A and B are shown apart, each in its own frame.
Chain A
Amino acid sequence: KQEVTQIPAALSVPEGENLVLNCSFTDSAIYNLQWFRQDPGKGLTSLLLIQSSQREQTSGRLNASLDKSSGRSTLYIAASQPGDSATYLCAVLGSWGKLQFGAGTQVVVTP
């Protein structure tokens, strides 16, 4: 059974610092890995999707890497801003066709 773990569970940084969020998964047989942002009481906003054949994806200040063999992904957010405060979820799509989510990392960026 696939298990997805996100560390740390919570993170607080001053504005301007870089953020590093980690995601690990136990079964490397995945189709893709996706990073989402969720604001309190809201739905999910897709940030980056990395296909299993890819090593990384970039969008603006965001960069996500994927090491399928070791079962790890890292989301980097450069030069954090207070508007980056949210919960970040990673999810893996397995061969069973279902997304398995991690518990999330709650991020607070202080001005």
Chain B
Amino acid sequence: GAVVSQHPSWVICKSGTSVKIECRSLDFQATTMFWYRQFPKQSLMLMATSNEGSKATYEQGVEKDKFLINHASLTLSTLTVTSAHPEDSSFYICSARDGKGSNEQFFGPGTRLTVL
């Protein structure tokens, strides 16, 4: 149980295009999902917290107009990197927390984004 998937697992795009990454909780309902970013040889940095049916809360320094987050259902959150640039190339990981009171987060396998 508690499986989280991400799609795609990797994507290569041209500078200036937008890329959408999906995060799904497969066997539980996730009232809260989190988006992290990881640069090579570095740890995970929280970008934003996504609550179903409401606006995401972004961490300081994260541009909300560049990283659009939608949590339209209890099993799906999407991160759209708009007008991507090479410096947006990174490993993006989502996690999900169920709505049953547990505080454990379950992590997806990550998406490698490369912007040319």
Q: A residues within 8 A CB of B6?
A: 43
Taking the closest CB of chain B, its distance from the CB of A99, in whole angstroms, is 6
| B49 close to A98 (CB less than 8 A) | yes
Q: How many residues of B contact A (CB 8 A)?
A: 21
- Enumerate A89-111 residues with CB–CB distance to B below 8 Å: 89, 91, 93, 97-99, 101-104
Instruction: Give the contact-size bracket for chain A.
Output: 20 to 34
18 of the cross-chain contacts (CB-CB < 8 Å) are A36-B107, A43-B6, A43-B107, A43-B108, A43-B109, A44-B44, A46-B104, A46-B106, A46-B107, A93-B105, A97-B32, A97-B49, A98-B34, A99-B34, A99-B44, A101-B43, A101-B45, A103-B43
- Using a CB–CB distance below 8 Å, which chain B residues touch chain A? 6, 32, 34, 42-46, 49, 91, 93, 95, 103-110, 112
Q: B residues within 8 A CB of A99?
A: 34, 44, 46, 95, 105
Asked if A32 CB lies within 8 Å of chain B CBs, one says yes
| A102 close to B43 (CB less than 8 A) | yes
- Using a CB–CB distance below 8 Å, which chain A residues touch chain B? 31-32, 34, 36, 41-44, 46, 49, 89, 91, 93, 97-99, 101-104
Query: Known interface pairs A41-B112, A101-B43. Does A93 touch B49 (Cβ–Cβ under 8 Å)?
Result: no
CA distance A98 to B32 in the complex (A): 11
Q: A residues within 8 A CB of B110?
A: 42-43
| B46 close to A31 (CB less than 8 A) | no
| A43 close to B93 (CB less than 8 A) | yes
- Contact residue among B49, B104, B108, B109 (Cβ-Cβ distance under 8 Å from A49): B104
| B103 close to A44 (CB less than 8 A) | no
Nearest B residue to A9 via CB reads B41
- Contact residue among A31, A46, A101 (Cβ-Cβ distance under 8 Å from B44): A101
